[in-house]
Each structure stands twice: as C-alpha cells, then as structure tokens.
Amino acid sequence: DAGVIQSPRHEVTEMGQEVTLRCKPISGHDYLFWYRQTMMRGLELLIYFNNNVPIDDSGMPEDRFSAKMPNASFSTLKIQPSEPRDSAVYFCASRDTGTSGDIQYFGAGTRLSVL
C-alpha cells in the first residue's frame, strides 16, 4: 500500500478564503484522525472517525473548521473562512484495529499558509 496520502502538500491562501485538505487513508483501515502541528501547540488531535462516522470533534478549534468522511477511502478537512492563525501543518493518520492494532500511520502532511 502507498500509505496515507494527503493533498495538497502545500497550500498558500489569503485570509478569508476557503481551504480544503484531503486525505486518503490506508485501504482497510477503520480509524482516521486529523492532527494539527504548530510550534506553539505541538501536535494536537482535531477530530477522528471510526468507520466513516465522526466520533470526537472536541479538538476542532472553531466552527470555521469542519471535517467529513463520505466513504472509507476519503476524508476532507475544511476551513472557511481561513485566518492567518490557521497556518500550520495538518496531518491525517489512519489505523486498522484488526491487523496493525494500536499503530497509527501518518501521512506526509499539508503545510498551510494563510496570508
């Protein structure tokens, strides 16, 4: 498998614009996690899904953030409207409770810059 695939790798946008980050988890994995990494706050969990259903979104910073998982092979994280403080690296990770157990596999991340 190619691993967790995130797109785009880099995104530069202007304040107020809508941003959509995409994630393709490893095939067969039943959990999907979205994390944000900043110098100030480190790696923090935003939201996670189990079998495409959002389970815990308590880490989502504001209503401007939303996430969906329409099927087992695709998830999006949307920010609308974007603000400069949203600039960060966003990671998606997936996990298979069956074969790999506890291990979360991370994608390469999307570096978001909001000007």
Judged by the rule CB under 8 A, the positions of this chain that interact with another protein are 4, 31, 33, 42-45, 48, 50, 55-56, 91, 93, 95, 97, 102-109
Closest CA to 83 of 10, 11, 14, 3: 14
Contact between 92 and 106 under an 8 Å Cβ cutoff? The reply is yes
In this structure, are strands 19-24 and 10-13 parallel, antiparallel, or unpaired?
unpaired
| CB 28, min distance to another protein, A | 16
Residue 48 dihedral angles phi and psi, to the nearest 5°: -140, 155
Task: Closer to another protein by CB, 53 or 71: give it.
Answer: 53
| CB 73, min distance to another protein, A | 18
Task: Closer to another protein by CB, 81 or 105: give it.
Answer: 105
